Chain A
Amino acid sequence: MIHYPRVVKRIAELIKLAGVSSDAMIEEMTDHYLTEIEYAVGLGSSEQKAIRDTYQNIAQTDLKSIDQKGNKTKWLFGALALVLLIFIVTFQFETTRDPISIADKESIALPNGWPIKSDINHIASGFGVKFHPISNTKIFHKGIDIKASTGTEVLATGDGLITESGYNHSSGYYIIVRHNDQYSTRYLHLSKLEITDDQKVKKGDIIGLVGNSGISLNPHLHYEVIKNEIVVDPLEVIAP
């Protein structure tokens, strides 16, 4: 009588490797092969040899078709998952292609407002690859630079939460607002911060003042929109 857990475990493994997936079938086949070993031992074979022969027998048998029903169910689940995936991807693609449709659905959380309170809205430098006038190299500009005089009010472009604010060498005084699972916005080179971390803000709230702090030649606001960890062109998000 063979009931070493090791042999039982190995047999079940081999059955799985041979292509059987249903637990009920694996249980039944395990009994089959253990009986085969016991039968061989009963006929005078050594236990070692009987076990080895059975291992070999399983490895050489194609059992893939044995639980067709299980495979069919698996296949059906796979097909369903694929259809769902295609649906989700298509839907996502539609929404990312059309910022206005997002605005309809998430108009509260989408950062689609204009980031300063001013009648003059001059964009000194747009989003994307730019030729740097000083270093004569191509750089990727992660946001837009809006020319404005120091002290102009900087506004939250959508409802959100202040996740970070402070000062560093390159950005100067800066603020990061998290709007939803997808969107964050960054406001750089400020002269003054009007908020504190973890503060909730509404679209249009004054969060700081335009300045010339950090690496900046003239007073301006550098404004960035980050969607799913990637910077996007703010002008494509801002409502017309």
Chain B
Amino acid sequence: MDTKNKFLSGTLNTIVLALLSENGRMYGYEICQKTKDKTDAAILLTEGAIYPTLHRLEKDGLIISSKEKVNGRIRKYYSINNSSIVEIKSQIDLLTQFTGHLRTLLKPSL
């Protein structure tokens, strides 16, 4: 596992939750694509990482899914489970604060 993936593995859950909070309903490929676009391809989510994460979040009740027929095939959409919104918000806040602290630690001069 390269360094970037190591960083990601602890934060992927929260990244996905943040993307779903912002964009509403999304499907797996869309999440990968959105991440790529937003980070100028610096962060690439692989299908081997995104789908287990989505399924885990769904199992934990943080997100919900629905299926829809698109272009003649089934597409699975994910969205935030509104009854978990408080927990999700606090997770996102926590990571935002944490990255702030990281920045301070990594670049003390700032």
Binding site for B on A (CB under 8 A): 1-3, 8, 25, 27-32, 34-36, 38-39, 61-63, 65-69
Contacts and interface: CB of A to CB of B under 8 A. Distances in A.
B73 A8 contact: yes
B28 A28 contact: yes
Given A31-B29, A36-B29, A61-B46, A25 B51 contact: yes
Contact of A65 (B33, B52, B71): B52
B47 A3 contact: no
B73 A29 contact: no
7 contacts: A29-B51, A30-B73, A31-B74, A32-B47, A35-B27, A39-B29, A69-B55
B73 A66 contact: no
Interface string B9-42: 0000000000000000001111001000000000
Nearest to A36: B29
A34 B47 contact: no
B25 to A, nearest CB: 14
Q: Binding site of A, secondary structure by majority: helix, strand, loop or mixed? A: helix
Nearest to A38: B71
A3 B48 CA distance: 24
B76 interface: yes
Most buried by A among B28, B29, B75: B29
Interface in B39-84: 46-48, 51-52, 55, 70-76
Nearest to B47: A32
B12 to A, nearest CB: 14
Nearest to A22: B55
Nearest to B29: A35
Contacts of B73: 3, 8, 30-31, 34
Interface size class of B (residues with CB under 8 A): 10 to 19
B76 A28 contact: yes
A61 B47 contact: yes
Given A1-B72, A34-B71, 16 more contacts: A1-B71, A3-B72, A27-B74, A28-B28, A28-B51, A29-B51, A31-B70, A31-B74, A31-B75, A32-B29, A32-B47, A61-B46, A62-B48, A66-B51, A66-B52, A69-B55
Contacts of B51: 25, 28-29, 32, 66
A66 B74 contact: no
Contact of B33 (A1, A8, A30, A39): A39
A63 B76 contact: no
A31 B33 contact: no
A142 B72 CA distance: 68
Contacts of B30: 35
Contacts of A32: 28-29, 47, 51
In the A-B complex, the 5 residue pairs with the closest CB atoms: A35-B29, A3-B72, A32-B29, A31-B75, A1-B71
Contacts of B47: 29, 32, 61, 63, 66
Nearest to A1: B71
A67 B56 CA distance: 11
Contacts of B27: 31, 35
